[in-house]
Structure 1
Amino acid sequence: MSKQRTQKSGPHDATRILVDYFCFTVSVSEFFDHDITDEKAVYTADRIERKFMLRGLEFQERKGMYGYAYARWYDGIVYAWGGNNTIYIQMSGTGCRTWETTHPGLAWERWIMQLQSTYATLHISRIDIACDTFGMLKLRTVQAFTRKRNYISRWKTYLIQEGSSEMAVIWGSSKSDFRLRIYDKTLEREVKGSVDADKVPKNWVRCEFQLRNDAAASFVRSWQASRSIGDTFMGIMRNQLLYVTQYDGIHRDRATTAPWWERLLGDAGQIHMAYDAGKDYNFDSLSRYIFHQAGSSIKAYLTIMDGDLEPLLQGVRMSSLNDRQTELVRSAQEKRRERQERQIEYAQM
């Protein structure tokens, strides 16, 4: 696992990629189904620690959380159970470092694959992937390009934080399953007053993906397909956000990426988030929601409005799409464009 912390991205060695938050659940019934007969009398906490490779750590009891009756904690790792139909594991950034230290020979991707192969009910509710840069990015430059709208972004919203205690640019809504935070990590450490403050690296800027639910699953799928967390991070970043010096507002492929951003991305190819549209979310599931869940509400609204569609359409036009919907629209538009190109080629034959 520790190798993920020093993985290089692009032609530079001034970056490292690491897992910095990891949460997942498995169903209680499936968890206990994997017990053999002589294990069934073992205390639940011991079984959790054994099955999720947490044995040997000095866990302490703490109050239940998120609706779970019981929880135990050790150095950034929390697990919880009882009063719920799932078992919950949470690792903060500190917890991820604890995990890496205690499992030096087990890479993150291999452990996640083990969990996937063992538990069909595995649900990764959150995974944060951080890219630490040292001297490669300047937060002031990132903020200036953002203010001037010198970017191409699939995120619709951003927030610039600027002050004596925090410097950051945050992309994506607080309600979104996929956000990016670019921030001054040196400043954060200094403000917290670390005991090793004199050892905090200078010019430390972190770019961090915060991924939840479908977005988390999508990143993991792309990661497993590429077999490189660094290539996956940079490829998705290239797809999601480009800081540019020239852009006509239409042709993304003709835009000129800012040199400092291009150095970060290196030679990574563009990677679309690998949403499992066929399984998780597609046009059929969208249609089912509209006609089966929202259909009666739409019918009531139209009846009240005497069938006048214009107010309804106006309200819909003002609505923003979430990440899954945006990806579904993008995929549909891409397929439509490919069909049109094939029709043109056929007509010219």
Structure 2
Amino acid sequence: MTGKVKPPHANRGVVRKNEEEEEKLTSMVDYVRISFKTHDVDHIIQNILHIHKDFMTEKPKGFYGYVGTWEMDMIKVMYSAPDDERGTLIEFSGKGCRQFESFLECRKKTWFDFFQDCLNEKGSFTRLDIAIDDKRTYFTIPSLLEKAQNGLCVSRFRKSDYNGSFDIGDGRLGGTTLYFGSKKSDAYLCFYEKNFEQAEKYNIPYEEMEDWNRYEIRLKNERAHSAVCELIKDRNLTSIGMAIINNYVRFVEEDGPEEKRMRETSPFWLEFIGDVKKLRLYTKPQTDFYQKSRNWLKNSCAPTMKMILEADRATGQNDLSDMIINAELQDKHEKMLEAFLTPIHEMVV
């Protein structure tokens, strides 16, 4: 090991008021699943992910019918039994996407390059999520919900849903989430108030957070695969952001023909869609691995460890340090530590 990755602040994604100005409208790849017919896991890890397998940990279990997983925190490669046509599956959650971007950045590659590599290996995209962060807030989610409930939304979807929360103590409304389409379908949209989510997650007063909407486009199977092909062709979000959002949802003026589809599009929606059309993929590479495990240690174990430490100080014993020194690391802990301490460029193939 020749260097140590400096861990970022735990709340790196949180944006409070008066912090450094960021772009007001950005988009990110937020979830990816790609299946390959091959059972050659080593080939997928080395030639698609370009990660040294030595830094990954194997688990004898998987999801979606796969029997095992090679993983580096939230970057996962699942494999099936030799006689199972499922083959191999790459899966990145939102955090996994941010982590994988650190490897792309190190190789001076982009998501488009990665997508093309997957297609070259006959990969089939079974899920693709695109997240658009809006800190300008062209509209509020509650106002959009109200317009939809008042019949001012024209959509190809037959169903919509929403949820929200409020404080029992003072009655103040919490975050609102608006869904277009069914979660079981191959395409649906989710619009929600990200600032409320972040304030609750990090226990920050809502008043300290700046306005922040999140719009998620969630695609599966053929729609996900087609969207990736369009992304590679255009190398921007025109096809995804404009074509998908505007294709499925449009807000119209209250006055006009009785047939809603014939009415003029509302100015606020035209402005929003016009700016979404200009979007390019934005990346936030994250070199911080296994934050979830450290958070678990902090939240679940730290109070007990502090109690033992205080007892040691009072009694002159060394129980806590003895426990730590005598603990035996499992293979997964060794791999986690190695990945955390190793610079990204040393993990890249």
- Please tell me the TM-score bracket, short chain as reference: 0.5 to 0.7
Does the residue aligned with 1:238 lie in a helix, a strand or coil? helix
Identify the residue that residue 257 of structure 1 maps to in structure 2.
265
Matched residues, percent identical?
Answer: 23
What whole-Å deviation, never above 9, does each CA across 1:255-296 have from its counterpart, x for those lacking one?
Answer: 222222222111677xxxxxxxxxxxxxxxxxxxxxxxxxxx
Give, in angstroms, the shift of residue 249 of structure 1.
4.9
Does the 8 Å CA contact 1:124/1:217 hold for their aligned counterparts?
A: yes
Give, in angstroms, the shift of residue 69 of structure 1.
1.8
Extract unaligned runs of 5+ from structure 2.
1-21, 167-173, 278-349
> Counterparts in 2 of 1:15-34, with a 5 A limit?
15-28=25-38, 32=40
Does the 8 Å CA contact 2:152/2:260 hold for their aligned counterparts?
A: no
Cα RMSD after superposing both structures: 2.8
**What is the alpha-carbon distance in structure 2 between the residues aligned to residue 22 and residue 77 of structure 1?**
10
Matched AA of 1:116: L
Identify the residue that residue 61 of structure 1 maps to in structure 2.
58
Identify the residue that residue 69 of structure 2 maps to in structure 1.
71
Identify the residue that residue 6 of structure 1 maps to in structure 2.
none
| Structure 1 residue 168 corresponds to structure 2 residue 170 | no
| Structure 1 residue 141 corresponds to structure 2 residue 143 | yes
TM-score with structure 2 length normalisation? 0.62
Identify the residue that residue 116 of structure 1 maps to in structure 2.
119
Identify the residue that residue 94 of structure 1 maps to in structure 2.
95
> Cα 1:257–1:23, aligned 2, differ >3 Å: closer, same or farther?
same
| Structure 1 residue 131 corresponds to structure 2 residue 139 | no
> Comparing 123-132 with 182-191, which one deviates more in the overlay?
182-191
> Cα 1:143–1:71, aligned 2, differ >3 Å: closer, same or farther?
same
Does the 8 Å CA contact 1:171/1:180 hold for their aligned counterparts?
A: yes
Give, in angstroms, the shift of residue 190 of structure 1.
1.9
Identify the residue that residue 216 of structure 1 maps to in structure 2.
224
Give, in angstroms, the shift of residue 48 of structure 1.
3.3
> Cα 1:174–1:68, aligned 2, differ >3 Å: closer, same or farther?
same
Extract unaligned runs of 5+ from structure 1.
1-11, 33-43, 270-349
TM-score with structure 1 length normalisation? 0.62
| Structure 1 residue 191 corresponds to structure 2 residue 204 | no
> Cα 1:249–1:173, aligned 2, differ >3 Å: closer, same or farther?
farther
Q: How many residue pairs are counted as aligned between the two chains?
A: 241
Give, in angstroms, the shift of residue 82 of structure 1.
3.1
**What is the alpha-carbon distance in structure 2 between the residues aligned to residue 174 and residue 128 of structure 1?**
13
Of the two structures, which has the highest relative contact order with CA contacts closer than 8 Å and spacing of 6 or more?
2
Structure 1 residue ranges, 4+ long, deviating more than 4 angstroms after superposition: 196-201
Identify the residue that residue 158 of structure 1 maps to in structure 2.
160
Does the 8 Å CA contact 1:69/1:81 hold for their aligned counterparts?
A: yes
**What is the alpha-carbon distance in structure 2 between the residues aligned to residue 18 and residue 180 of structure 1?**
15
> Cα 1:197–1:110, aligned 2, differ >3 Å: closer, same or farther?
farther
Does the 8 Å CA contact 2:227/2:239 hold for their aligned counterparts?
A: no
> Cα 1:220–1:248, aligned 2, differ >3 Å: closer, same or farther?
farther
Matched AA of 1:191: E
Does the residue aligned with 1:206 lie in a helix, a strand or coil? strand
**What is the alpha-carbon distance in structure 1 between the residues aligned to residue 239 and residue 99 of structure 2?**
25
